């Protein structure tokens, strides 16, 4: 992948006066009717849509995911230039933006999909920017004639935004004749092709299952412009997520507590049902619970609590976890 600059500022041509056109402008300008040195000013337009700000927020609030962020910047750059071109009447087909997010549980797929809706809205690609999350049960009916209206309703709800299909491969399994999933796939293929200016479909799931799904459904993979892989987090990245979460919830982790948490996460990583960022979040929830019990008991014994007590998560709150006794947590 080519390296992408941290902001979209440099390299984008300056603009012609006026606002970005909302949607396609009426008529297409003949390429030869415009002088080649006609100036277009990107900076003001980018400021209006607050693109650098949105990308910086994404960078700040999401730990790691370097390649994912780079792809988002590429998409943003593509759309900015597309709008600039349209602002001087140079029309082309709007780019296809359907995506596929693959990765293990808790690697940030749903979080990034939500952000993507927001970004595509700010860039004027979609009208609303909301995210409709569905799984097989929201799309596939149980009786003949049940599936089409169900899927239609979901598509209608998602119009103008992002339709996020989690574990998309469960929607349809080849060879199962009594499965109505095929109907869903046909409707999706159609809407992905014909309504792509008004709906972005993001399919998510495990990489292996997703690859099988694409080979089972001809024409699906080629309608998806961006295949983005979400890698598992390293222990350092998980700790960074933990620090960020603790800070956001107004807690402090002492250096000893951080060491205990690192120990906890290292053990947890090698256990079944480990779910990356989600396991960090769940672990912190349990640590908060143990801190609360500890403080409650101390208060019952008449101890005067302070602000420091309320914000401090201690190593003992972490070390009481069953993970240190060889136990396994589901989260
Ligand atoms: N890069 C990150 N930075 C900060 N927090 C993160 C990051 N990735 C994941 N998280 C945290 O982990 C939690 C789970 O993330 P998310 O729901 O996006 O994962 P997912 O890939 O959709 O998982 P699943 O496949 O199980 O649906 C989020 O609530 C978020 O707080
Ligand atoms: Mg998810």
Whether ligand 1 lies within 6 angstroms of the CB of 29 is answered as no
Note whether 284 and 245 are within 8 A (CB).
yes
- For the segment 175-189, what is each residue's pLDDT rounded down to a tens digit? 777 789 999 999 999
User: What mean pLDDT comes out for the span 300-311?
Assistant: 97
Q: What is the best residue among 110, 117, 167, 170 to mutate for testing ligand 1's pocket, by most ligand atoms within 8 Å of CB?
A: 110
Q: 40-53 pLDDT, tens per residue?
A: 887 876 777 778 88
CATH for 235-325, among 3.90.1640.10, 2.30.30.240, 1.10.8.60, 1.10.3720.10? 1.10.8.60
Beta-carbon neighbour count of residue 169 at 10 Å? Answer: 22
Residue 28 pLDDT grade (very low, low, confident, very high; cuts 50, 70, 90): low
Q: Is the pLDDT of residue 291 over 60?
A: yes
Q: What atom of ligand 1 comes closest to residue 62's alpha carbon?
A: 3
Protein fold of 96-232: Rossmann fold (3.40.50)
CA of 331 to the centre of ligand 1 (A): 13
Give the distance (Å) from ligand 2 centre to CA of residue 256.
Answer: 32
Question: Ligand 1: which of 102, 103, 105, 108 to mutate, judged by most atoms within 8 Å of the beta carbon?
Answer: 108
- Residue 245 pLDDT greater than 50, yes or no: yes
Q: Is the confidence at residue 193, as pLDDT, over 90?
A: yes
Which pLDDT does position 192 carry in this prediction?
Answer: 96
Return the percentage of the chain with pLDDT > 70, whole number: 89
Domains 96-232 and 235-325 equal at CATH topology level:
no
pLDDT of residue 327: 54
* pLDDT tier, 130 (very low <50, low <70, confident <90, very high otherwise): very high
Ligand 1 binding pocket includes 108 (Cβ within 6 Å): yes
Ligand 1 pocket, residue 161 CB under 6 Å: no
pLDDT the model gives residue 37: 87
Q: Is the pLDDT of residue 229 over 60?
A: yes
Ligand number nearest CA of 106 is 1
Residue 59 makes CB contacts below 8 A (sequence gap 6+) with 6, 69
Query: What mean pLDDT is predicted for residues 278-307?
Result: 98
pLDDT band at 117 (very low <50, low <70, confident <90, very high): very high
From the number of C-beta atoms within 10 Å of its C-beta (0-12, 13-18, 19+), residue 106 rates as: buried
**What's the confidence (pLDDT) of residue 147?**
96
> Is-contact 96 196, C-beta < 8 A?
yes
> Separation of 262 CA from ligand 1 center, angstroms?
18
Residue 202 is encoded by which pair of tokens?
């993001």
The secondary structure of 85-123 as a DSSP string is HHHTT---PPPP--EEEEESTTSSHHHHHHHHHHHHHHT
Does the pLDDT of residue 124 top 90, yes or no? no
111 lines ligand 1 (CB under 6 A): yes
| pLDDT score recorded for residue 175 | 79
CB under 8 Å to 11, separation ≥6 — which residues?
5
Q: CB neighbours of 45 closer than 8 A, spacing ≥ 6?
A: 15, 19, 20, 80, 83, 84, 87
What ranges do the domains of the chain cover? Answer: 1-93, 96-232, 235-325
Average pLDDT over residues 191-208: 95
For the chain, the first-to-last Cα distance in angstroms comes to 34
Whose atoms come closest to the Cα of 109: which ligand? 1
pLDDT for res 311: 98
| pLDDT above 50 (res 84) | yes
Give the model confidence (pLDDT) of 136-175 as tens digits. Answer: 999 999 888 999 999 999 999 999 999 999 999 999 988 7
Q: Are 48 and 8 in contact (CB under 8 A)?
A: no
Residue ID of nearest Cα to ligand 1 atom 11:
277
Looking at residue 280, its pLDDT comes to 98
312 to 246, 263, 283: CA distances (angstroms): 10, 18, 15
Average pLDDT, the chain: 88
Of ligand 1's listed atoms, the one at least distance from the Cα of 111 is: 18
* pLDDT value at residue 1: 42
Q: Please give the distance, rounded to the nearest whole angstrom, from the Cα atom of residue 89 to the centre of ligand 2.
A: 40
Identify the band that residue 11 occupies on the pLDDT scale cut at 50, 70 and 90. Answer: very low
Express each pLDDT in 68-83 by its tens digit.
999 999 999 898 888 8
């Amino acid at each position: 992948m080519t390296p992408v600059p941290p902001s979209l500022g440099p390299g984008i041509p300056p603009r012609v006066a006026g606002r970005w056109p909302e949607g396609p402008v009426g008529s297409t300008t003949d390429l030869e009717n415009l002088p080649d040195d006609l100036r277009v000013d990107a900076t003001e337009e980018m400021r209006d849509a607050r693109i650098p700000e949105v990308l910086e927020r994404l960078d700040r609030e999401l730990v790691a995911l370097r390649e994912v962020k780079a792809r988002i910047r590429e998409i943003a750059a593509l759309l900015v230039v597309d709008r600039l071109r349209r602002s001087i009447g140079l029309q082309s087909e709007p780019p296809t933006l359907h995506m596929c997010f693959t990765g293990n549980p808790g690697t940030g797929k749903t979080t990034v999909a939500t952000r993507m809706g927001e970004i595509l809205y700010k860039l004027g690609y979609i009208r609303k920017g909301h995210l409709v999350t569905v799984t097989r049960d929201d799309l596939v009916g149980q009786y003949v004639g049940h599936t089409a209206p169900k899927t239609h309703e979901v598509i209608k709800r998602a119009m103008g935004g992002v339709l996020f299909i989690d574990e998309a491969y469960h929607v349809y399994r080849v060879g199962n004749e009594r499965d109505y999933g095929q109907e869903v796939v046909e409707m999706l293929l159609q809407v992905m092709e014909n309504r792509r200016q008004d709906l972005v479909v993001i399919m998510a799931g495990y990489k292996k299952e997703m690859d099988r799904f694409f080979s089972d459904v001809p024409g699906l993979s080629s309608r998806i412009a961006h295949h983005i892989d979400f890698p598992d987090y390293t222990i350092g990245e998980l700790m960074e997520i933990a620090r960020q979460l603790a800070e956001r919830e107004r807690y402090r982790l002492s250096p000893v507590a951080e060491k205990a948490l690192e120990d906890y996460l290292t053990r947890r990583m090698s256990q079944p049902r480990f779910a990356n960022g989600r396991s960090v979040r769940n672990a912190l929830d349990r640590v908060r619970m143990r801190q609360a019990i500890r403080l409650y008991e101390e208060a019952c014994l008449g101890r005067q609590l302070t602000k420091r007590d309320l914000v401090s998560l201690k190593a003992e709150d972490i070390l009481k976890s069953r993970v240190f006794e060889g136990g396994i947590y589901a989260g």
